[in-house]
Structure 1
Amino acid sequence: MSKRITSTFLIFSTFLTLLCSCQSGNTSIDTELPRGIWTAEEANAWQAEQGWLVGPNYTPATAINQLEMWQEETFDPETIDEELGWAADLGMNTARVYLHDLPYEEDSTGFITRIDHFLRLADKHGIRPLLVFFDSCWDPFPAAGKQRAPQPHVHNSGWVQSPGQHVLKDSTQYPRLQRYVKGIVTHFANDKRILGWDIWNEPDNMTGPSYEAVEIKDKVDYVLPLLEQAFAWARAADPSQPLTSGIWAGDWSTHAGLKPIEKLQIEQSDIISFHNYDAPEDFEKRIQQLQRYNKPLWCTEYMARPNGSTFEGFLPIAKKYDVAMFNWGFVDGKTQTIYPWDSWTKTYTDEPTLWFHDIFRGDGSPYKQEEVELIKSMLKSE
């Protein structure tokens, strides 16, 4: 009996010693909790060190979607290197880039190696990317392997959602999504080459006429809790970079009037991000509405010329309010985003007179020289 008492006493004493050591910082045992959501003060202090952030939503011209960009067989560092050089020549210093869960499931080590290769190329050109984990837009049925050829003259005819519909509806697959998010953020949590993490692109997007016939009607009911979990997974890896997810449609005039998913996006984001493809007046109104959160603002999608969303209309306003800007598209290629969204319902047989997105042709020549000169003049002065 005395031996048991002695043993119990020794165990209890050891526990107290470890506890005291942890509290005094004299041990290597990690007892720190992951950081919380950045306060407005923390977010603004971080943003003050970044300068004005401007860049494209970037996919190489040789990739129809995220899978073709990142899978080993079609990863194209030569094209990426060349095209990011064109971005740097404009004075751009960032790019928003989509990842996908399937390459991580197929080969997590290889995927991380390719991300690191991409980061080396981006860093070479002074570009720090914002990496996107999930996306609710376009095709709900992604499949690894060889991707289909572009449908002629159709905007984003091969872009795919992440996670796909079958995974979204199957909670037994959520642990692998957790491994994907935590694995990548943990690996790059202190990598200064990365600007930040965009957790989910347009999470409540129902795909419009492109895939609405096969989209699940209660999609948001699945996405909302998973989005909250995804923020928690990323934050659990204790990243030094900010987290965000951009609101993109609806009435933002009051916080109370936001949809539940928009409230979650705003409340969980270290930096507030949003999309706007409307006229400059609406863009400025949206900025003014979101200023109530007293956090830095990033416009992570804009620039649809026929809509009035242009570089000449938006960049001066963004600079006035110090809003980071990520235009959609960069080089005309397999995504075919020079064509408008209505190319899913309207037939096009040739290049549109007015491009919808993108800045350069495949050979690097500008679509509009005056546009390129404007971007350079605004960014070279930074």
Structure 2
Amino acid sequence: MKFLKTSIWAILICLSFQQCNKKAEEKKEETPAKEEAATTGREIWTKEQAKEWYAKQGWLVGADFLPSTAINQLEMFQEASFDTATIDKELGWAQNIGMNTMRVYLHDLLFQQDSAGFIKRLNVFLDITKKHNIKPVLVLFDSCWDPFPKLGKQRDPKPGVHNSGWVQSPGFEGLKDSTQYPRLERYVKGTVAALANDDRILAWDIWNEPDNPNTSSYGKVELPNKVDYVIPLLTKSFAWARSVNPSQPLTSGVWAGNWETHETLKPVEKVMIDQSDIITFHNYEGPESFEKAIKQLQRYDRPIICTEYMSRGNGSFFKGSLPIAKKYNVGAINWGLVDGKSQTIYPWDSWKKTYTKEPDLWFHDIFRKDGTPYKKDEVELIKNLTAAK
């Protein structure tokens, strides 16, 4: 009897040991899968996820924002020139006319220079936007204007020239030299990860006009075959941002091309559309063109935001585009809030034509530096459409 009891205990211990081993093996098999999921990050949102997010936002209206005291992204966020007083004041003017979003450009060199300080200042900026009930779209990369960005004190504006000091991110060297891509990866992942669950942020715009050749300004010194470098880095950048599981949508806005069908898109545009959680676009033409663009992009059955419009000298006005945007529940972010060092009251052709005084018809922007509107009827229209008190 004693032998039988001992044998039964031995069998039970053995079975228990085998069960533990089995569970350990199962756990071991699960771990790589979980680690892989954590590495790859989240998927592109489904249409349903994107619509659910958009339904919580209300109608989005805002401007591409740079404080009047900054000539570019570097001057806006570098420690020595980070002007919170002006940012606070000018965002107050935006809030007063019913704006609830801004589109704001960041720069890879800011992260390289001082990642902790940059994220700290970005948090201060987001506290200011939250104070004014504004949720910004943050832009990580940009292919427009000067391809040779430099840290430190930025140059003074060239009189009468539109965006005379705006700089690309990454610049010529950063885009051409693949050994710099790990640095760019750290910038994207580090910035997005620091704010991945931050409800002060509306969305991440991965790359502004990635294939812009800047023909009329810096075309002669641009990287040859620029788009061949951009496409793979744009694809990587979406993956880098998605790998840290941001709660906010990712996007990159189509800006120049034939959007009639998916097949008529350029290769870079297919990446921009296919990788985006929400659809964004630019349109600087009249109301007919603006509405046509919306209808073409509706086939993707995702929320739509126009992240650049309103160029008076080109026939794009608030009165033409903004009511159409509201009709289709499309977000509307115009270029420029306050006339300042960016000098975007001057037209694009100021790179070729000399302007010696303020143009009678401002190209972009809404307010003068003292807060008075350039056109009162435009401000009243914006207030009425946004139901601002």
* Equivalent residue in structure 2 for 1:271, among 273, 278, 298: 278
Q: CA RMSD in A?
A: 1.9
Pair 1:339 & 2:353 matched:
no
- C-alpha distance in 1, partners of 2:340/2:370? 10
Pair 1:322 & 2:351 matched:
no
Corresponding residue for residue 5 of structure 2: none
Shift of the alpha carbon at 1:10? 12
Letter aligned with residue 298 of structure 1: I
TM-score by length of 2: 0.92
Corresponding residue for residue 206 of structure 1: 213
- C-alpha distance in 2, partners of 1:195/1:202? 19
* Structure 1: gaps spanning 5 or more residues: 1-8
Pair 1:122 & 2:129 matched:
yes
* Equivalent residue in structure 2 for 1:247, among 241, 254, 257: 254
Corresponding residue for residue 27 of structure 2: 18
TM-score by length of 1: 0.94
Letter aligned with residue 61 of structure 1: S
Per-residue CA deviations over 1:325-370 (Å, capped at 9, x if unaligned) read: 1100010000000000000000000000000000000011100011
For residues 98-113 of structure 1, the aligned pairs below 5 Å read: 98-113=105-120
- C-alpha distance in 1, partners of 2:223/2:35? 46
Shift of the alpha carbon at 1:381? 6.2
Corresponding residue for residue 78 of structure 1: 85
Report if the CA contact (8 A) 2:97-2:388 is conserved: no
Per-residue CA deviations over 1:17-50 (Å, capped at 9, x if unaligned) read: 5348879xxxx98955521111111111110111
Corresponding residue for residue 368 of structure 2: 361
* Equivalent residue in structure 1 for 2:101, among 89, 94, 102: 94
- What SS is found at the alignment partner of 1:273? strand
Per-residue CA deviations over 1:225-280 (Å, capped at 9, x if unaligned) read: 00000000000010000000000011111110100000000000000000000010
For residues 63-74 of structure 1, the aligned pairs below 5 Å read: 63-74=70-81
Pair 1:56 & 2:69 matched:
no
May I ask how many residue pairs the two structures share in their alignment?
Answer: 370
Shift of the alpha carbon at 1:15? 4.3
Distance 1:222 1:150, change over 3 A: same
* Runs of 4+ deviating beyond 4 Å: 9-15, 19-23, 28-33
Pair 1:288 & 2:295 matched:
yes
* Structure 2: gaps spanning 5 or more residues: 1-17
Report if the CA contact (8 A) 1:57-1:97 is conserved: yes
- C-alpha distance in 2, partners of 1:92/1:11? 60
Letter aligned with residue 99 of structure 1: L
Q: Percent identity?
A: 64
Bigger Cα displacement from structure 2, 109-118 vs 44-53: 44-53
Distance 1:170 1:30, change over 3 A: closer
- What SS is found at the alignment partner of 1:209? coil
Corresponding residue for residue 15 of structure 2: none
